[in-house]
Amino acid sequence: MSKSSTGRGKNNKTRERSPNPGLYQQLQAIVSRLNALEDNSRSGIATVVERQPAVESSGSAGSAVVPCVVLASEQSTTPPLVPTPVPRVSADDCVAAEVAGKINVQISNTSKMYDKWVKLPMPLDFKIYVFNVTNRDAINQGEKPNLKEIGPYVYKQYREKIILGYGDNDTIKYNLKKTFVFDPVASGDLREDDELTVINFSYMAAIISVQEMMPAAVGMINRALEQFFTNLTDPFQTVKVKDLFFDGLFLNCEGDNTALGLICGKIRAEKPPTMRISKSANGFYFSMFSHMNRTVSGPYEMVRGTENLSDLGHVISYQGKRIMSAWDDQYCGQLNGTDSTIFPPLEDGNIPEKLYTFEPDICRSLFASLVGKDTLFNISTYYYEISDMTLGSKSANPDNKCFCKRNWSVKHDGCLLMGVLNLAPCQGAPAIASLPHFYLGSDELADFFGDGIKPDKEKHNTYVHLDPITGVVIKGVKRLQFNIELRNVPSVPQLKEVPSGLFPLLWIEEGAEIPEWLRKEIMDSHTMLWYVDAARWLVLAVAVVAVLVSATLVARSAALIPWPRNSNSISFILGNSVNTSKVHS
């Protein structure tokens, strides 16, 4: 262990002299110095008074890493009219720790976190819960639906960013690639070959769209859809879950119905992401998530945080757009927040009440609200969770009124009900997003069902535990449900008896918690930045001592007050446990 000693004068006797105006000027300079130190400590800048060489560690080939500590300046029997020297700081390692602490969380190829940001070191858990219809015939006779939730079907989701380049204003541009792999162990007894009965999502979307645009053509289009969909007897279908999720359900374009050609031509022209062209037959495959497994999303343009750390991770454009045009509104279309994989460090005294993330699949930003401090894996975190105002109705949250672009129901406008978001402006199909089991939604949504809808905060909440020092998500879960309206349409045989109400297909959960080895890296980052923080306060404390000693000299010379001759001000301020004559490597 290396040591650096400082000498201390043992003779504390002084000579009394008359006051000197120059001493007050010197004291004023020290007070100004203290103010500068305090300002710097508030702004997060390590103060450098005098650079000291790194202390070589015995038995080491290179320089040892020296914690940020204060070196007490030499004190001798100098007459009191000479001001107490400003303390010297061992600054090389303080500044290095400060810079390293910031660099480690920036999006830069020199950052310790950069590789982990580009390619997540562990997969996310992507869980799918399906609503199995248990009283199909009864619903077709107008009774309330009964559902049974089946899941989770667990997939490992691997994420990797493809860097496209760097832009102006400290930005980076990238595409996001996701890969999903079924996890049979985590899925338990569930298998991808399981067959379930679910709402026919694409059929209901087609009927609702036609009824909105051309009500008189619904009957004609429905006859074409009877060829497009296999065995179309009602608004439900029995499917293998792997086909619903990724492999695809075949939709036929071979037939003699003129309207069928129009339907298939429209799909070919618009290329909806949930449809892919069949390579072996005349038709398409519909699936909920295959597009996420075979294409990249983006490009995103994000702030790197190398110039202003508080802007780290902020998404400023998506696919070249700074405003999402789906909502025809500057407020609702703004890109607010990060892509949920990275956040800027939080500043004490300036903790945001809302944490925003941009969700391209729904063409908008969502926020979680601050609940308070928490501790997870022995790491102090801030805990945020989604609130009822995020998807609040326009009466509860007037800011949401610009999301009410189109009607989604025969009963309601775009956001009359609590807890739902109309995705039609974003996705081009009348899909409705909500939290699982209509959690935080209107009671009317759950009352439509006889059984199977049971909102539960513990199971259906969306939340995040955020490390305030690095901005790393210690644990987070994001949950979203996809719904379509089951609509009574008297002119359509398959729908003439069914009740009308919002019907869920499935809900998903994306979540992860940092593994144990990564927790250690987080704690190491905390330790490094703790040294910096400790140094700031030690510098400030010793500066206070300098002012006290200088003030003492003034008081003595003016004979204003008696003062103990042998008081150790540094020990008094820092405590008996602080040894000011040692530097620990």
Number of neighbouring beta carbons within 10 Å of residue 104? 19
Rounded-to-integer distance, Cα 194 and Cα 287, Å: 16
Q: Residue 572 pLDDT more than 80?
A: no
Alpha carbon 467 to its chain's center: 11
Please tell me the predicted confidence (pLDDT) of residue 375.
93
Please tell me the predicted confidence (pLDDT) of residue 548.
58
38 sits in which H/E element:
helix 21-43
- With beta carbons less than 8 A apart as the criterion, state whether 401 and 415 touch: yes
Q: Please choose, from the candidates 305, 304, 333, 340, the residue with its C-alpha nearest in 3D space to the C-alpha of residue 319.
A: 333
Alpha carbon 354 to its chain's center: 11
Please tell me the predicted confidence (pLDDT) of residue 553.
53
Rounded-to-integer distance, Cα 38 and Cα 43, Å: 9
In the chain, % of residues over pLDDT 90: 50
Rounded-to-integer distance, Cα 314 and Cα 292, Å: 23
**Beta-ladder partners of 173:** 165, 301
Tens digit of each residue's pLDDT (9 = 90 or more) over 69-105: 333 333 444 444 444 444 444 444 444 444 445 555 6
Please tell me the predicted confidence (pLDDT) of residue 156.
96
- What pLDDT band is residue 230 in, cutting at 50, 70 and 90? confident
Rounded-to-integer distance, Cα 470 and Cα 453, Å: 39
Q: Report the b/e string of 142-152 with b at 16+ CB within 10 A.
A: eeebbbebbbb
Q: What is the mean pLDDT of residues 149-178?
A: 95
Three-state secondary-structure class, residue 503: strand
Could you tell me where the DSSP H helices lie in 316-397? 330-333
- The better pLDDT of the pair 309, 539 is held by 309
466 sits in which H/E element:
strand 463-466
The residues, ordered by sequence, that sit 6+ positions from 169 with a Cβ below 8 Å of its Cβ are 303, 316
Rounded-to-integer distance, Cα 94 and Cα 533, Å: 9
- What pLDDT band is residue 444 in, cutting at 50, 70 and 90? very high
Please tell me the predicted confidence (pLDDT) of residue 550.
56
Q: What is the mean pLDDT of residues 218-228?
A: 95
Please tell me the predicted confidence (pLDDT) of residue 409.
62
pTM of the model: 0.74
Q: Residue 490 pLDDT more than 60?
A: yes
Complete DSSP assignment for 172-222 = EEEEEEEEEEE-TTTTTT--TT-EEEEE-HHHHHHHHHHHHH-GGGHHHHH
User: What HEC string does 39-52 produce?
Assistant: HHHHHCCCCCCCCC
Tens digit of each residue's pLDDT (9 = 90 or more) over 307-344: 888 899 999 999 999 999 999 999 999 999 998 888 99
Q: Report the b/e string of 84-97 with b at 16+ CB within 10 A.
A: bebbbbbbbbbbbb
End-to-end CA distance of the chain: 6
Least confident of 248-257, 289-298, 523-532: 523-532
Please tell me the predicted confidence (pLDDT) of residue 17.
43
Q: Report the b/e string of 248-276 with b at 16+ CB within 10 A.
A: bbebbbeeebebbeebbeebeeeebbbbb
Q: Choose from 180-194, 334-348, 378-392 the range with maximum mean pLDDT.
A: 180-194
- With beta carbons less than 8 A apart as the criterion, state whether 435 and 462 touch: yes
Please tell me the predicted confidence (pLDDT) of residue 401.
87
- With beta carbons less than 8 A apart as the criterion, state whether 421 and 415 touch: yes
The residues, ordered by sequence, that sit 6+ positions from 449 with a Cβ below 8 Å of its Cβ are 144, 145, 146, 147, 501
C-alpha dist (Å) from residue 185 to 126, 152, 182, 581: 14, 11, 9, 59
Q: Residue 117 pLDDT more than 70?
A: yes
- What pLDDT band is residue 384 in, cutting at 50, 70 and 90? very high
Q: Look up residue 479 and give its two tokens.
A: 């949950």
- With beta carbons less than 8 A apart as the criterion, state whether 324 and 333 touch: yes
**What is the 3-state composition of the chain as percent helix, strand, coil, each rounded to the nearest 5?**
30, 25, 40
Q: Please choose, from the candidates 547, 565, 543, the residue with its C-alpha nearest in 3D space to the C-alpha of residue 72.
A: 543
Please tell me the predicted confidence (pLDDT) of residue 408.
56
- With beta carbons less than 8 A apart as the criterion, state whether 424 and 408 touch: yes
Please tell me the predicted confidence (pLDDT) of residue 64.
36
Least confident of 86-95, 96-105, 277-286, 537-546: 86-95
Burial class (CB in 10 A: 0-12, 13-18, 19+), 351: middle
